[in-house]
Amino acid sequence: MSTKTFGSYLAELRREKKMTQKEVADRLYVSDKTVSRWETDRSLPELSLVPAIADLLGVSADELLRSGMSQTEESEEESATNAMAENVAQIACRRFNRRGLIALILFFAAPALAIIMNMVGPMSKVVEGEDSMTESVRSVVLRTSSMVLFIGAIFGSIIFLIVYFLIQNRHIRDCGAPENVRKMYQDRLRGRFVLYFGIIGFVILTLIGWILPAIGVIAVVLVCDWLLRSRRS
């Protein structure tokens, strides 16, 4: 007797028909998330949908039920364990999303502050009795401080994103969830990492006047996002 679960059997039939989860969902008038939950064995379709699913995928309803649903019964303990493991993966993704946004805010705030410092320095009036040498020293100090702040924001944001991505990816990898669930959340994590990293790269390249490479970064981000979405479907 086959050890395939209903979800893996359904996904196998869908791929044989060269259909995406979205195409199956549209034909059955459900959401693609619903189809994803079926294929990852997190839920089962209603019995009223079984004939339509079987017809769409080119099998009989009896075969679909016999080869799939009869083999998807898990013990309550195993189901609870999988749910807890998936919750760990969800939390890892959410944490990276929030911390990544904080890193981006700091990345944008520090250069903005550096620009303000450079603008305020030359505009400030020379105090009576202050010679040009003192004014020059003050200007150099302001520019140096703003440059250090700017560079620190860039490298700090990049290092933080890389380190935190590796930490959360390890949490997902070791959470104990089924392999397909782990891969799904790892792809989500990679997608958000590429997005944040792409934003930083685009801003840096734009600021130094490298417009074409900056546009290239956006193109790479879009391609990576498309590839990761394709893997999930």
For the segment 206-225, what is each residue's pLDDT rounded down to a tens digit? 777 788 877 887 787 788 77
Residue 59 belongs to a domain: yes
**Span 182-195, average pLDDT:** 83
Residue 210 belongs to a domain: yes
Q: Give the C-alpha separation, 158 to 160, whole Å.
A: 5
Which residue among 37, 71, 105 closes a domain? 71
Q: What's the pLDDT band for 233 if we cut at 50, 70, 90? A: low
Residue 76 belongs to a domain: no
Same domain, 60 and 93: no
Same domain, 117 and 21: no
Q: Give the C-alpha separation, 92 to 174, whole Å.
A: 11
Residue 1 belongs to a domain: no
**Lowest-confidence segment of 47-61, 120-134, 172-186 by average pLDDT:** 120-134
Provide the pLDDT for residue 165: 86
Count up the domains in the chain and report the number: 2
Which of 44, 52, 34 is closest to 6 using CA atoms?
A: 44
Which tens digit of pLDDT belongs to each residue from 85-105?
777 788 888 888 888 888 777
Averaged confidence pLDDT in the chain:
75
Same domain, 106 and 205: yes
Predicted TM-score (pTM) of the model is 0.51
Same domain, 86 and 16: no
Provide the pLDDT for residue 140: 65
Which tens digit of pLDDT belongs to each residue from 112-144?
666 665 665 554 444 444 455 555 666 666 667
17-18-19 Cα angle (round to 5) = 90
